[in-house]
Every structure is written in C-alpha cells, then in structure tokens.
Amino acid sequence: MSRVVTPTPRHRRSAAAVLLLGTLTVSTAGAAPEDDYQRGLAAFRSDDVIVALSSLRRAADQGHAAAQALLAYLLDRAEENTAALDFYRRAAEQGNADGMYGMAMLLALGEGTEKNPQEAVRWLERGSELGHGPSMTALAEALIGGDLGLTPDVARARTLLEKALAGGHGPARAVLQRIGAAPAKGGTS
C-alpha cells in the first residue's frame, strides 16, 4: 500500500531547487551561439583551452561562423588539420574572412587535404576583397614570389600591402620594407 506524503515547505523548497538547477543546466546547454562564442573567446584569451574548445564547439555546431573559424584555428594549432579544414570551410562559406584565410593556408600547404594552390588563391582573393589584412598580406607574398601559381606582380602586391597596413595589419609593413616600398612609420605611402 502506497503512502501519501503531504508536501511540506521543506519539500517545496527542495523541488524548487531541483527545478532551478535543471533550468540553469538547460540554459547553459542551450545557450545562444553568440553567448557560447563569447565564452569561448574569453577562455581562449585567458589560455583556458578546455573551456574554449567546448564553448566554441557548441557555437560552431550551431552555425556561428566566428566560432567555427576560431575553433578551426585551435584545431589547426593542434595539428588536427582535417577537422580544422572542415570548420574553416564552414566559416568561409558563410563569408568569414578568418575562415577564408585559414582554409587558404591549409590548401596552400596541403595540410588536412591535398595541396590546391588555385583554390588557396581563390580564398585569399575573397578574404582580400573583404579587407582582411592577413589575406591581403599572404596574397601579396604569393604575388611577390610568384607562388601558388601566380605570375609575379610587385605593383599589385604593394597595393594590397598598403591597404592591409592602412586597415591596421602591422605585419604588412615588414613585407613592404622587404620589397623596398615601406611607408614612413604611421603612414601608408
């Protein structure tokens, strides 16, 4: 025979606590992709790779392009190149310039895939069109050296580097200096 228990205030408080904990767990697990991305970015910046990976993975799996690109970067650094390429591609196909750049680098080097210089150039061009400094600098480097199947074109490389520098990408300055076209410190011409 079952016994009927009349809820006491203590039972109600316990039930409320269980419901509250359940709600908090669900809200963290079902956090918006942007929240997971921000949590992952903060963890990445503080060198907490474990939290960064898990938060970025949740956001990336929900289609957050910036999270996909940053997760790909972490995977790339860990030499998980096939997985990195997948997440870079997802980000790039959504118009994320960091994803375009990362994918181009893996394609150019043949990491996680076979070398594909033409495809690498295509993604560097797209990133450059978006004003992405690292893409412009990498494309300029390829133009200077005639790499990735490109015909050397120092004039175009200089234009790209000046745009990258004007957009705040400091590493473009060193490449400009190497080709004898460095602007004065702080200038763009």
Q: Tell me the C-alpha distance between 162 and 187, whole Å.
A: 9
Neighbour count for residue 187 (Cβ, 10 Å): 11
pLDDT of residue 185: 59
Please, are residues 175 and 141 in contact by the beta-carbon 8 Å criterion? yes
Tens of pLDDT along 80-139?
Answer: 999 999 999 999 999 999 999 999 999 999 999 999 999 999 999 999 999 999 999 999
* pLDDT of 26: 34
Angstrom distance (rounded) from CA 128 to CA 105: 14
Query: CA-CA distance, 134 to 72, in Å (whole number)?
Result: 16
Q: How far apart are the first and last CA of the chain?
A: 91
- Per DSSP, the residues of 131-156 read T-HHHHHHHHHHHHHT-TTPPP-HHH
pLDDT of 115:
97
Looking at residue 46, its pLDDT comes to 97
CB contact at 8 A, 40 and 52: yes
Q: What is the predicted pLDDT for the residue at 186?
A: 52
12 pLDDT exceeds 80? no
**Arithmetic mean of pLDDT over the chain:** 86
Segments making up each domain of the chain, as ranges: 33-119, 131-189
Better-predicted residue by pLDDT, 67 or 16: 67
Mean pLDDT confidence for 25-48: 82
Higher pLDDT, 13 or 98: 98
What mean pLDDT comes out for the span 17-43? 64
SS3 of 68-89: HHHHHHHHHHCCCHHHHHHHHH
